[in-house]
Amino acid sequence: MPKILIIGAGGQIGSELTLKLRDVHGPERVVAADINDKNTDLVNSGIFEIVDAQDYESILNCVKKHDIDTIYLMAAMLSATGEKFPVKAWDLNMDSLFHVLNLAKDNIIKHIFWPSSIAVFGPTTPSKRTPQHTIMEPTTVYGITKQVGERWCEYYHNKYGVDVRSLRYPGIISWKTMPGGGTTDYAVEIYHKAILDKRYASFLSKDTELPMMFMEDAIRATLDIMEAPAETIKIRSSYNLSAISFTPSEISEAIKKHISDFDMSYAPDFRQAIADSWPSSIDDSSARTDWNWAHHFDLEKMTAEMITRLREKYKHSEINS
C-alpha cells in the first residue's frame, strides 16, 4: 500500500502532523524524514529517514524505497531567520518545492501538501479580514518564497494536473513543540515563560494584532484539505485559513486570568517590522465554503489548554530531573 512522507517532520508543525498521520493511517504507512534525527519521538514511533529537502536524489531515493504516493513538504526557513539568511531561505524554500512538484509532474508521487503563510501578504494588502484574492506585495524573503511558491503550485496544477493543496497558515501555537525562527513565535514563548518565570518581554509591541491558531485546529485543517474530494478544492494556489486574532496585550490578559501575578513587558526588535507588514485578521470564507473548514479554539479555550498542559509538562520534568 502506498505510503505518506513528511519532509521536515522534526519541525513545529511537521512533528505533530506526523504523529497525527501515524494515528490515523498506522505507523507502517507514514514515513517521517528530516535533515537530522534529533527528534526521538519521531524516530521511535515509526519509520524514519534522513532526507535533505534540497537534494532531489535524497527525496527520490526515499520515495522509491518506501513506495510513497503523498508528500507533506513541511521543511522551510521562516520569516525571522529568513531575514538573516535571505539566500539560504530562498534556496531551501524554493528548491524543496520544485523537487516535490517535479516528482508529481513525473507521476512518481500523486499528492502534495505544501504550507503557505499569511506572510504572502504585505503592507499594501488590506489588513483587516484580508480577502482570499487581494494585493500581495510581501516584503520578507519568506513571504516572497511563499507567494512565488503559490504561483508555482497553481501552475503545476493547471499545466500538469498535479494534485497540490495548500493552506496559508497563521501563527501556530502548541504546547508540545517550540517554533523556530518565526515572527509569531512570541505567542508560544509567552506561555512557557508565564509558567516558568511569571513574566515575559514581548518582542512585538503591545497592540500588534496578528492572525493565530491552536495547533490542533491547524492539524485538523491540514488533514481535512487533504481528504476533501478533488472537485471541492477550487483554489490551487493556497487557501486563507483563520481562527483567532489577538495582540500581545490581549494574550497577556488571557494569561492573567490563570496566573494573576503574570508580568508582561514590551521590547520590540527587528521582528516588529515584519509583523507590521502582515494582516491583523483573515477572511477564510473560501475554505469554510469549499471544504467545510471551521476552527474550534478561541483565545480563552487555547489559553486554558496551553496552561494546563504546560503546567503538567514542567511538573513532570521537575519530577524526572
**Is 178 in contact with 188 (CB distance < 8 Å)?**
yes
Closer residue to ligand AKB in complex, CB, 62/77: 77
Q: Scan residues 151-190 and list those touching ligand AKB (CB under 6 A).
A: 169, 171, 182-184
Task: Please identify which residue in 15, 18, 70, 79 interacts with ligand AKB, judged by CB under 6 A.
Answer: 79
In order of 38, 132, 164, 232, 234, the CA distances from 292 in angstroms are 36, 16, 18, 10, 13
**Is 83 in contact with 138 (CB distance < 8 Å)?**
no
**Is 213 in contact with 244 (CB distance < 8 Å)?**
yes
Residues carrying an active site annotation: 142
Q: Would you count residue 78 as binding ligand AKB (CB under 6 A)? A: yes
Q: Would you count residue 225 as binding ligand AKB (CB under 6 A)? A: no
DSSP state at residue 191: H
Of residues 37, 44, 116, 106, the one with CA closest to residue 79? 116
Burial 286-304 (b: 16+ CB within 10 A, else e): bbbebbebebebebeebbe
Q: Would you count residue 119 as binding ligand AKB (CB under 6 A)? A: yes
Q: Would you count residue 147 as binding ligand AKB (CB under 6 A)? A: no
Residue type, 20: K
- We find the least distance from the C-beta atom of residue 93 to ligand AKB, in angstroms, to be 11
Query: Binding-site residue total for ligand AKB (CB under 6 A)?
Result: 11
Closer residue to ligand AKB in complex, CB, 31/73: 73
**Is 290 in contact with 165 (CB distance < 8 Å)?**
no
Closer residue to ligand AKB in complex, CB, 48/239: 239
Closer residue to ligand AKB in complex, CB, 17/103: 17
Task: Please identify which residue in 39, 54, 96, 117 interacts with ligand AKB, judged by CB under 6 A.
Answer: 117
Q: Which residues bind ligand AKB (CB under 6 A)?
A: 78-79, 117-119, 142, 169, 171, 182-184
